[in-house]
DNA sequence: CATCGTCGCTGACAAAAGTCAATTCCGACA
DNA sequence: TGTCGGAATTGACTTTTGTCAGCGACGATG
């Protein structure tokens, strides 16, 4: 909590440079150190969140598509990442936008729930450091096998580290082999408390997964490709925090879900700000399911995806109104 | 609300430079403009709050004095501006610290009450620009005569401008010549609504005034120096949002207060974050009165003032405990 | 239709910031 | 006490950024 002596000088340099607008050599003179040291301290200050530089994300909210999506799906806020002509991949930009948006949505003292996935992990990776105080980051779902690289606990911890926040991990597997065991584990006080605390979050961050053999739950061995196809045939439309949802965004009634340890969808829905980030164009159906179930309030998508969402909704509504 | 075409390019440049970390010449190439233009756009982005650079104020909370003040007076957070050896005036630093702290305390969607005074005005002046959305800044008290330079409406408007927020002014004089007139005006729907809305604020910003001939209420002609002395003899210990308070921080029962149009102290106390900023060393007694009355939860003071507050409290408590 | 004033943009130069190898400092350990 | 290893600091050099006069486009005005 308290600033160590070695950090004090960094704070001072940052204050004089960024708040008072002195030049590096002036700061150096004031603090009786070399200008090179000042440059170094300032870099450190930026890297650790002592100094915070954030760019408005209005560029991405200010888009007809974003407005339409807000209206049509009743969302609080939508960010659309445009297709840049000369630029690189539009999808690659999504995590960067999402990370900025995410930081803007966090307030001091907040409790934040974080699920897992490649998108979330990439976001954590490009997220800038911030010096929020009294923020807690909680893991929304159990863990996967060790050799996997986007583990839920890693996502949680990395985001906590970037925000200078407290990370609350959750040491249970995401999927167990039998239902009674899962039930037993869910009733363990440590686990139960953490799952119950999800409803108290101010903000949640997650993506949505596809129901096919590319899904993380398949890749990490929790389900076989065949199981996955069977689930799909039984109505699974997407994966949220490791759980199968149907096309209405409700928890699918299936053996797999009963063996999962994760935050329940009701708790997630009761979180005021539920931020969903989707970078892959293949996730149209899962995303529609999540939207149908009211699982998200804040959405970050690519422009192509935004267009497809709107088209789908239009063709969906017309038959009904006729 | 929507970004104008001319601003779009500024947003893009800022995004590429600050979020993606490209160099100015790379940004220039991407956007097909000269590097000089990029430099210009970036400056504009910083000046208008499209890009936000903020420095942690931990340096000022991390002080034994600050901790002691928090404990002793039961405050949520205290910032102490130290006496720098070589540096300039410690008091001159107070508004800069306060402005940074203030920005940190504001959240999106907040309603903020602002009182008036030289300190508040100076804060507004050094406050950086930010791009908060849906923030409303409301004026806490009526206005003073026109020729005055730190008018309440100016403080409110300037802060609203810096935050890109909506300013809610309040067109009534601070002091009227008769009590019935004041009562009538307070009951005007426009005025009544605004006064009632003060209790809904998330954050308030004010300073405290002295009860002597240097006070703004005297300088702007609302009270004569003799009136002021009389009020002091009757127990006035400080001025909050234009109203006289006694040493316990309660509204003084006096003719003057009955003629004032301002937010009532109860409403102010019900605001969760009440930030008080004191730069002058002469304001010890008024500050003690405000603290006694629970009128502030967040405090910014100089180190000398912090020491005096603590000494005073110690000598005050000892007789009681014996 | 010419002229003027304004505004936005750029090229070229000056100023400031970033970088890194060399050096100093400091504590641990023989 | 000496000396060794690693971290912190710095001087000198390079790269990047800030600035501003000057140019051209555009719209208003006589």
* Pairwise CB contact (< 8 Å): A87 & B131: no
**Whole-structure pTM value:** 0.87
Find the Å distance, CA of residue A79 to C1' of nucleotide C21.
Answer: 46
For chain B, give every domain's residue range: 1-51, 60-317
> Do B131 and A56 make contact, defined as CB atoms within 8 angstroms?
yes
Structure confidence at residue B317 (pLDDT): 58
Q: Which CATH class is domain A60-317?
A: alpha beta
Q: Work out the pLDDT band at B285, boundaries 50, 70, 90.
A: very high
Eight-state DSSP code of residue B200: G
Q: Which CATH number fits domain B1-51: 2.60.40.650, 3.30.300.30, 2.40.50.100, 1.10.10.10?
A: 1.10.10.10
Asked if B305 and B63 touch (Cβ cutoff 8 Å), the reply is: no
Q: How far is A15 from chain B (nearest CA, A)?
A: 6
Per-residue confidence of chain A (322 residues) as pLDDT tens digits? 556 677 889 999 999 999 999 999 999 999 999 999 999 999 999 999 999 999 999 999 988 999 999 999 999 999 999 987 555 677 789 999 999 999 999 999 999 999 988 899 999 999 999 988 889 999 999 887 656 667 888 889 999 999 989 998 888 888 888 899 999 999 988 889 989 999 999 999 999 999 998 888 888 777 889 999 999 999 999 999 999 999 999 999 999 999 999 999 999 999 999 999 999 999 999 999 999 999 999 999 999 999 999 998 777 655 544 4
Q: Closest Cα of chain A to B1: distance in Å?
A: 9
Q: Are A53 and B53 in contact (CB < 8 Å)?
A: yes
More confident residue, B88 or B175: B175
Cβ within 8 Å of B, A 69-128: 86-87, 96, 100, 104, 107-108
C-alpha B178: how far from its chain's center?
29
Looking at beta carbons, which residues of chain A come within 8 Å of B100?
Answer: 19
Which pLDDT score is estimated for B322? Answer: 39
Using CA atoms, how far residue B48 sits from A56, B98, B164, B312, in Å, is: 11, 20, 9, 44
Rounded Cα distance, B204 and B274, in Å: 5
Give residue A190's pLDDT. 86
Asked if residue B305 lies in contact with residue B281, where contact means CB atoms within 8 angstroms, the answer is: yes
CB contacts, 8 Å: A2 with chain B = 62
**What is d(CA A139, CA A143) in angstroms, rounded to the nearest whole number?**
9
Question: Does B11 sit within 8 Å of A58, measured CB to CB?
Answer: yes
Bigger pLDDT: B159 vs A313:
B159
Predicted confidence (pLDDT) at residue B17 exceeds the cutoff of 60: yes
Asked if A45 has any chain B CB less than 8 Å from its own CB, the reply is: yes
Query: Any chain A CB within 8 A of the CB of B54?
Result: yes
High-pLDDT (> 90) share of chain B, %: 71
Q: Are strands A136-139 and B166-168 parallel, antiparallel or unpaired?
A: unpaired
B31 CB neighbours strand C below 7 A: no
Which pLDDT score, from 0 to 100, does residue A321 have? 44
Taking an 8 Å cut-off on Cβ atoms, the answer to whether A56 and B50 are in contact is yes
Asked if residues B164 and B129 have their Cβ atoms less than 8 Å apart, the reply is yes
Give the pLDDT of residue A148: 65
In this complex, the residue with its CA at the shortest distance from the C1' of nucleotide D12 is A36
- Which pLDDT value is given to residue A318? 55
CA of B147 to C1' of D28 (A): 37
Q: Does A56 touch chain B (CB under 8 A)?
A: yes
Q: How far is CA B186 from CA A123, B12, B198, in A?
A: 52, 48, 14
Give yes or no for A149 touching B (CB within 8 A).
Answer: no
Question: Between A and B, how many CB-CB pairs are < 8 A?
Answer: 82
Tell me which range, B12-16, B168-172, B219-223, B311-315, is most confidently predicted by mean pLDDT.
B12-16
Model confidence pLDDT, tens digit, residues B192-241: 999 999 999 999 999 999 999 888 888 877 888 999 999 999 999 999 99
Residues in chain B: 322
Per-residue pLDDT tens digits for B77-119: 999 999 875 556 777 899 999 999 999 999 999 999 999 888 9
Instruction: Give the torsion through C-alpha atoms of B294, B297, B303, B304, to 10 deg.
Output: -10
């Amino acid at each position: 909590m308290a600033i160590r002596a070695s950090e004090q000088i960094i704070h001072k340099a940052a204050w004089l440079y960024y708040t008072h607008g002195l030049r590096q050599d002036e700061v150096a003179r004031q603090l009786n150190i070399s200008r090179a040291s000042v440059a170094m301290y300032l870099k450190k200050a930026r890297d650790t969140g002592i100094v915070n530089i954030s760019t408005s994300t209005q560029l991405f909210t200010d888009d007809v598509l974003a407005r339409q999506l807000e209206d049509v799906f009743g969302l609080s806020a939508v960010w659309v990442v445009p297709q840049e002509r000369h630029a690189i991949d539009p999808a690659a930009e999504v995590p960067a936008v999402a990370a900025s948006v995410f930081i803007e949505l966090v307030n001091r003292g907040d409790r934040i729930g974080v699920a897992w996935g490649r998108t979330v992990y990439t976001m954590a990776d490009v997220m800038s450091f911030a010096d929020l105080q009294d923020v807690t980051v909680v893991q929304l779902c159990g863990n996967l096998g060790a050799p996997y690289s986007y583990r839920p606990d890693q996502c949680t911890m990395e985001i906590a580290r970037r925000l200078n926040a407290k990370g609350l991990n959750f040491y249970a597997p995401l999927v167990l082999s039998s239902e009674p065991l899962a039930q037993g584990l869910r009733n363990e006080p440590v686990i139960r408390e953490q799952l119950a605390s999800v409803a108290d979050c101010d903000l949640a961050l997650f993506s949505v997964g596809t129901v096919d053999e590319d899904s993380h739950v398949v890749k990490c061995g929790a389900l076989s490709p065949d199981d996955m196809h069977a689930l799909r045939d039984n109505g699974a439309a997407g994966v949220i925090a490791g759980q199968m949802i149907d096309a209405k965004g409700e928890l699918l009634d299936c053996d797999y879900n009963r063996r999962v340890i994760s935050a329940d969808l009701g708790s997630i829905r009761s979180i005021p700000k539920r931020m969903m980030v989707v970078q892959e164009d293949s996730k149209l159906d899962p995303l529609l399911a999540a939207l149908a179930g009211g699982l998200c309030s804040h959405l970050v998508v690519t422009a192509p995806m935004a267009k497809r969402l709107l088209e789908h909704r239009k063709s969906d509504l017309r038959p009904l109104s006729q």
